């Protein structure tokens, strides 16, 4: 068969002028039509069989392919390479250093390994200066370069398949950056974060969990996290998981051990499901938020509300008793109004002291001073108080405050405070198991026993002994009234005792 009628192995008729088969896209057309007389490669019909075969395969490939031949690395490429890297049309058959001057040095190092040692070189995400206008100045490509051999088996060139990875690397970097940001967010929030599958099988937990519980992530996986829960709360957590697996949102409150404090703290735990495209739950993302202080505050508030209700009922009871007793002991409406006003004011002063700091109790010295100062007993020479610090329980302070009020009112009307030279010495001391308070008046008018048993006498002689277990004695001596009140030092009367203090007003 003559050369004019032969067909190539690919089945296409060769060009009669170049001996190159038809096809191969734009680059195949350029090879057939280009004048090769000035190229070191010479006309395609004279190319080495291995080069011709490689070029045919290159032109037929859908992947970007380059062929570099000879010591100067003369370049040939296919249409896909033209699209991805944008070499100029005149690049065919020209040396690499002229076509890619900016990247020649980088490619040359790769070429040396292939040409000199016959290696197949794979470079991933390699930065290469593309000539394509839409591609960044430095795009990223993955190169796979294999040696091409001549008829004697010597490496005479190389074939390179190229895949652009700029977008993939950019996406991966974006994902990595998002993951770093997400990790920073997760590790920066105070909540304990975790992931789990059905039934509460943990697959991951944040560093906050391990720092709080002392359990490493590996030991917390599966059902290992239950070890950090209070034993009484573990069934609560598992029941919540059972409800979640049945279609509910996971939500529960339970106690988690704080490793550093060595105690359990209350946490509110919630999780939401992550679903696939078909709506199936693939995992759960959850957080546990410390609500220990909130629960303590709520409990404290509940106790305060109960105490407020109790004190409200108690106040109404005391006021009713004050009104009833004052009415019974008063002869006129004016006398009733005067006594009732004074006693309610005295009771109100005690309540104000209670509400200032309910946890500390009411200071005995302040209780006495408030009552005496309310009746203008201010000069230093008229009043002296001395005794240890005593914090009274609210109930004891209410009754004792009313007793001090009655003693003060009596001193203003009939006793030491009714004359300019009169004075009052109030002292108290602790003689375990009793607190002894002495009220001594002097410089007032000559006194005698009470002419009638009024509210004050009843309060001192009956209410204090009955409600507080006190012993009260009154002595109307020549110097003035001396009243002694002996109170048992029990938790029902006092809250605490501290060092001795004295007050002179």
Q: What is the pLDDT along the chain (505 residues), one digit of tens a residue?
A: 333 334 444 455 455 445 566 677 778 888 888 888 878 888 888 888 999 899 989 888 888 899 999 888 998 988 888 877 666 667 788 888 888 787 777 778 888 889 889 999 998 888 776 655 555 567 888 889 999 998 888 999 999 998 888 888 888 887 777 777 767 666 767 789 999 999 999 999 999 999 999 999 999 999 999 999 999 999 999 999 999 998 888 999 999 999 999 999 999 999 999 999 888 999 999 999 999 998 888 887 887 787 677 666 666 666 776 677 677 667 788 777 777 777 777 777 777 776 666 667 888 988 888 888 776 655 466 788 899 999 998 888 888 888 888 898 888 888 888 888 888 999 999 988 899 999 999 988 877 655 556 777 888 888 889 889 999 999 988 888 999 999 999 988 998 644 334 343 3
Q: Which CATH number does the domain housing residue 311 bear?
A: 3.30.565.10
433 and 418, same structural domain? yes
Strand, coil or helix: what is 400? helix
Residue 214 lies in a domain: yes
411 and 326, same structural domain? yes
**What confidence score (pLDDT) does residue 194 get?**
92
**What confidence score (pLDDT) does residue 188 get?**
64
Domain end position, chosen among 257, 290, 323 = 290
434 and 371, same structural domain? yes
Which H or E run contains 456? Answer: helix 455-458
**What confidence score (pLDDT) does residue 40 get?**
86
Beta bridge partners of 159: 67, 146
Domain end position, chosen among 169, 198, 233 = 169
Closest by CA to 441, choosing from 417, 466, 459, is 417
Residue pair 501/388 in contact by the 8 Å Cβ criterion: yes
**What confidence score (pLDDT) does residue 500 get?**
37
Residue 181 lies in a domain: no
Token pair for 160? 């390179």
Residue pair 190/290 in contact by the 8 Å Cβ criterion: yes
Token pair for 400? 């004792």
Total domain count, the chain: 3
Residue linked to tokens 């002894």: 436
Residue 59 lies in a domain: yes
DSSP classification of residue 249: P
Residue 13 lies in a domain: no
Residue 15 lies in a domain: no
Task: List, in sequence order, every beta strand (DSSP E) within 238-352.
Answer: 250-258, 263-275, 281-290
104 and 33, same structural domain? yes
Q: Which CATH number does the domain housing residue 209 bear?
A: 3.30.450.20
pTM: 0.47
300 and 417, same structural domain? yes
258 and 220, same structural domain? yes
Domain end position, chosen among 290, 313, 331 = 290
300 and 286, same structural domain? no
**What confidence score (pLDDT) does residue 343 get?**
74
Strand, coil or helix: what is 397? helix
**What confidence score (pLDDT) does residue 7 get?**
43
Residue 144 lies in a domain: yes
Strand, coil or helix: what is 113? helix
Residue 68 lies in a domain: yes
**What confidence score (pLDDT) does residue 107 get?**
78
424 and 397, same structural domain? yes
The per-residue b/e assignment along 264-301, b for 16 or more CB within 10 angstroms, e otherwise, is bbbbbbbbebeeeeeeeeebbebbbebbbeebeeeeee
Crossing angle of helices 333-356 and 292-329, in 10° steps, is 160
Residue 96 lies in a domain: yes
359 and 246, same structural domain? no
How many whole angstroms separate alpha carbon 119 and alpha carbon 112?
9
Domain boundaries, position 84: 25-169
195 and 151, same structural domain? no
162 and 270, same structural domain? no
Closest by CA to 361, choosing from 323, 387, 337, 397, is 397
Residue pair 135/119 in contact by the 8 Å Cβ criterion: no
**What confidence score (pLDDT) does residue 325 get?**
66
Residue pair 37/56 in contact by the 8 Å Cβ criterion: no
407 and 276, same structural domain? no
**Alpha helical stretches, state H, 189-291:** 207-213, 217-220, 234-245
């Amino acid at each position: 068969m003559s050369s004019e009628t032969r067909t190539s192995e690919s089945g296409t008729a060769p060009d009669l002028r170049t001996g190159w088969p038809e096809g191969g896209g734009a680059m195949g057309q350029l090879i057939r039509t280009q004048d090769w007389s000035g190229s070191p490669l010479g006309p395609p019909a004279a190319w080495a069989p291995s080069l011709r075969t490689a070029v045919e395969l290159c032109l037929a490939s859908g992947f970007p392919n380059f062929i570099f031949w000879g010591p100067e690395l003369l370049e040939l490429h296919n249409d896909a390479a033209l699209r991805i890297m944008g070499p100029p049309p005149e690049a065919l058959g020209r040396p690499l250093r002229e076509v890619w001057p900016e990247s020649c040095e980088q490619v040359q190092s790769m070429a040396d390994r292939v040409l000199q040692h016959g290696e197949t070189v794979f470079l991933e995400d390699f930065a290469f200066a593309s000539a394509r206008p839409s591609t960044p100045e430095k795009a990223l490509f993955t190169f796979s370069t294999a040696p091409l051999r001549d008829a004697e088996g010597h490496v005479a060139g190389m074939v390179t398949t190229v895949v652009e990875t700029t977008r993939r690397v950019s996406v991966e970097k974006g994902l990595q950056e998002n993951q770093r940001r997400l990790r920073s967010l997760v590790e920066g929030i105070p909540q304990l974060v975790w992931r789990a599958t059905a039934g509460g099988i943990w697959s991951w937990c944040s560093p906050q969990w391990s720092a709080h519980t002392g359990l490493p992530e590996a030991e917390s996986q599966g059902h290992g996290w239950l070890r950090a829960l209070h034993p009484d709360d573990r069934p609560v957590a598992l029941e919540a998981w059972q409800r979640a697996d049945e279609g509910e949102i996971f939500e529960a409150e339970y106690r988690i051990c704080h490793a550093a404090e060595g105690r359990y703290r209350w946490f509110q735990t919630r999780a939401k499901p992550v679903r696939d495209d078909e709506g199936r739950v693939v995992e759960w993302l959850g957080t546990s938020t410390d609500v220990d202080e909130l629960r303590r505050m709520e409990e404290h508030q509940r106790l305060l509300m109960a105490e407020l209700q109790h004190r409200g009922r108690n106040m109404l009871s005391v006021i009713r008793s004050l009104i009833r007793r004052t009415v019974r002991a008063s002869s006129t409406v004016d006398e009733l109004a005067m006594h009732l006003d004074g006693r309610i004011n005295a009771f109100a002063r005690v309540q104000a002291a209670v509400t200032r700091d309910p946890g500390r109790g009411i200071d005995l010295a302040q209780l006495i001073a408030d009552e005496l100062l309310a009746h203008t007993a201010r000069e230093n020479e008229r009043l002296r108080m001395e005794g240890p610090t005593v914090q009274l329980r609210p109930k004891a302070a209410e009754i004792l405050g009313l007793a001090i009020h009655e003693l003060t009112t009596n001193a203003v009307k009939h006793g030491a405070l009714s004359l300019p030279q009169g004075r009052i010495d109030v002292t108290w001391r602790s003689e375990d198991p009793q607190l002894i308070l002495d009220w001594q008046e002097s410089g007032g008018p000559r006194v005698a026993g009470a002419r009638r048993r009024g509210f004050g006498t009843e309060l001192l002689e009956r209410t204090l002994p009955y409600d507080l277990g006190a012993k009260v004695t009154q002595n109307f001596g020549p110097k003035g009234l001396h009243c002694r009140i002996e109170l048992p030092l029990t938790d029902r009367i006092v809250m605490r005792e501290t060092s001795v203090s004295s007050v002179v007003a």
